[in-house]
Amino acid sequence: MAFFRQYIAPLIVVLMFLFALFVVSARIFLPEDMRAPAPISTIPNSLEFSQLSLNNTRV
């Protein structure tokens, strides 16, 4: 059990960290521009729904 705690468990943690670092860093090389903001589109009747929900809010 001591062998697992001293060698195997830290190795698994380091490998998981390196994998997560690789996955997050790989976004840079995707063909789509991931740094651009998300497109904003209007949802029909969203203004009416938000006004209706604000009018019905009780404090």
**What is the C-alpha separation between 25 and 11, in angstroms, rounded?**
21
Q: How far apart are CA 9 and CA 22, in angstroms?
A: 20
10-residue averages of pLDDT along the chain (59 residues): 93 97 84 67 60 58
pTM of full prediction above 0.85: no
- Residue 55 CA from chain centroid, whole number: 33
Distance of alpha carbon 38 from alpha carbon 12, whole angstroms: 35
* Per-residue pLDDT at 24: 85
pLDDT at 34: 61
